[in-house]
Amino acid sequence: MSFKKEIERRRTFGIISHPDAGKTTLTEKLLLFGGAIQEAGAVKSNKIKKGATSDFMEIERQRGISVATSVLAFEYNGTKINILDTPGHKDFAEDTFRTLTAVDSVIVVIDVAKGVEEQTEKLVEVCRMRNIPMIVFINKLDREGKDAFDLLDEIEQKLGLKVVPMSFPIGMGYDFKGIYNLWEKNVNLFSGDSRKHIEETIEISDLASEELDELVGETSANTLREEIELVEGIYPSFNKDTYLKGELQPVFFGSALNNFGVRELLDCFVEIAPRPRPKQSEERLVKPDENKFTGFVFKIHANMDPNHRDRLAFVKIVSGEFKRNTPYLHVRNGKKLKFSSPNAFFAEKKEIVDISYPGDIVGLHDTGNFKIGDTLTEGEDIHYKGIPSFSPEHFRYINNADPLKSKQLYKGIDQLMDEGVAQLFTLELNGRKVIGTVGALQYEVIQYRLEHEYGAKCSYENLAVHKACWVDPDDPKNDEYKEFLRVKQRYLAKDKQGQLVFLADSPFSLQMTQQKYPSIKFHFTSEFD
């Protein structure tokens, strides 16, 4: 197959949702349709069960599974589909944000009864800011839930989306009869026992036909006719270009658990979802069909086996072909590196591959060369943008609890930070180290991993910090900035890249500081223009 065809047939996306909406179930059903797995239960949920905060076994289990489910690839009707896993747990939100830099589109799963939930809001906001094309799947129609129109309103208002229903439910919960597919103009009847097999669809070219009454009963048929009329009156018609620009979001209804409405979603996805998209680097826009290979690291995963402390760096291929045993430039450190065993991912396994294409993810064994955000090229000096650090929510001093192991401790901290587990800040005043995280869970993960992988012990000490703000003076030479550096010295730190950060101890002090030093900008993310 030609290079161009290989790019055209790839779809790389992520499924985002609040925990429990049905992301794992949907992923599994998609793989089932692709013939990549034979039975349900093969895809393991990587979510952290409630109350498992102190359960280290659970953390280890979670880490193991998250390697297995990081990328799931399968073929469907000649299309190569790559699903990138996005943890729903809020403590791992930053991991999800980074993964979203490597997807070309997303599917948003919403629970019909719960509607739009907190994590959905945050993740969709990130996708909206980046104009990532989104398809919405409303799940669990076999249960009682919100009225379809109310839910569509809620999605528009809370998520700031512009929706177009592509399918519409006939009844709901106990009374759920099936789905009318506006996209294909057919009816899919729900038998309540479709978990194992794939439903037949019935063509209905005309909603007015009596066949519909026979299929779903007169009352339901009439309700559906009215509802579809309303849908057609209220919502715009689907437009692929507008969807691809991230300005219009098609919506499907179904029940992932019952394998219902999933085929319709997948068929439409394959047809409309974007192929690998061009990516902006600091230097220029890079197109997938360029001959020369470029890619970037969006995730790093440590080996589970403490005796082999190598890691797997996940690289998204942006352009060109990535070939095994070929030297590529690691742009940040200027070194050429060759990879003898790059891994490609399939449904449940990974395999060494000779060649991968734009849209694909390769897993590279790494002994400590990579950081999240690193770029690989054939020689060109390119830096991909868009993997910023956000201000953490929690801050603690990290102390060495075993003075004989300080070397191990610092090496461990260094590597864990490169993996993106948390952020490290070093205070300007006394060099003390502060760890910032999105969730409290990460402190336990760090402590546990330092001990088990690096043989080092640490303890924490609380620190009252409200936000980390990256400092951006209009003029680094003016007196105002000099005064700021002097007066606020106690609150200043460097991040791991050496950028200056102001650790504001309260919203009030941040506000006062902003007022007092108007020529300095304070950013909540590490990347700004």
Residue positions forming the annotated binding site? 17-24, 85-89, 139-142
Residue 259 Cβ, how far from ligand G4P at the closest point, in Å?
9
From the CB of residue 35, how many other CB atoms can be counted at a distance below 10 Å? Answer: 11
Query: Closer CB to ligand G4P, residue 17 or residue 356?
Result: 17
In terms of Cα–Cα distance, which of 459, 449, 107, 123 is closest to 301?
449
User: Is residue 216 within the footprint of ligand G4P (CB under 6 A)?
Assistant: no
* Total site size for ligand G4P, rule CB under 6 A: 19
Query: Closer CB to ligand G4P, residue 93 or residue 450?
Result: 93
Produce one character per residue of 308-326: b if its CB has 16 or more CB atoms within 10 Å, e if not: eeebbbbbbbbbbbbeeeb
Piece of the chain touching ligand G4P by CB under 6 A; list 19-27, 126-134, 163-171, 368-376: 19-27
E strand intervals along 474-519: 492-494, 500-504
Cite the annotated binding site for GTP by residue number.
17-24, 85-89, 139-142
User: Is residue 68 within the footprint of ligand G4P (CB under 6 A)?
Assistant: no
User: Is residue 258 within the footprint of ligand G4P (CB under 6 A)?
Assistant: yes
User: Is residue 14 within the footprint of ligand G4P (CB under 6 A)?
Assistant: no
Cα of first residue to Cα of last residue in the chain, in angstroms, is 41
Residue 100 Cβ, how far from ligand G4P at the closest point, in Å?
16
Contacts of 212 (CB under 8 A, 6+ apart): 187, 204, 221, 224, 225
User: Is residue 139 within the footprint of ligand G4P (CB under 6 A)?
Assistant: yes
Torsion of CA 285, 287, 291, 293, to 10 degrees: 70
State CA 312 to chain mean position distance: 18
User: Is residue 88 within the footprint of ligand G4P (CB under 6 A)?
Assistant: yes
Residue 27 Cβ, how far from ligand G4P at the closest point, in Å?
8
Element (H, E) at 423: strand 423-427
Taking a C-beta distance cutoff of 8 angstroms, is the pair 464, 504 a contact?
no
User: Is residue 123 within the footprint of ligand G4P (CB under 6 A)?
Assistant: no
Query: Closer CB to ligand G4P, residue 23 or residue 394?
Result: 23
Query: Closer CB to ligand G4P, residue 105 or residue 255?
Result: 255
Secondary structure, 3-state, 152-195: HHHHHHHHCCCEEECEEEECCHHHCCEEEECCCCEEEECCCCCC
How many angstroms separate the CA atoms of 274 and 105, rounded? Answer: 7
Query: Closer CB to ligand G4P, residue 191 or residue 209?
Result: 191
Question: Which position among 11, 13, 16, 17 is part of the footprint of ligand G4P (CB under 6 A)?
Answer: 17
Piece of the chain touching ligand G4P by CB under 6 A; list 134-142, 237-245, 269-277, 333-341: 134-142
In terms of Cα–Cα distance, which of 209, 202, 121, 208 is closest to 161?
121
Residue 62 Cβ, how far from ligand G4P at the closest point, in Å?
13
Count of all residues that appear for the chain in the document? 529
What are residue 364's DSSP bridge partners? 313
Query: Closer CB to ligand G4P, residue 17 or residue 79?
Result: 17
Question: Which position among 9, 10, 22, 288 is part of the footprint of ligand G4P (CB under 6 A)?
Answer: 22
Residue 351 Cβ, how far from ligand G4P at the closest point, in Å?
26
Residue 50 Cβ, how far from ligand G4P at the closest point, in Å?
10
User: Is residue 201 within the footprint of ligand G4P (CB under 6 A)?
Assistant: no
In terms of Cα–Cα distance, which of 41, 31, 102 is closest to 72?
31
How many angstroms separate the CA atoms of 430 and 491, rounded? Answer: 11
x/- letters, 29..48, toward ligand G4P (CB under 6 A): ----------------x-x-
Question: Which position among 12, 24, 343, 513 is part of the footprint of ligand G4P (CB under 6 A)?
Answer: 24
Pairing outcome for strands 249-253 and 134-139: parallel
Q: What tokens appear for 123 in the block?
A: 């993740």
Question: Which position among 9, 11, 140, 279 is part of the footprint of ligand G4P (CB under 6 A)?
Answer: 140
Binding stretches for ligand G4P (CB under 6 A): 17, 19-25, 45, 47, 88, 139-140, 142-143, 255-258
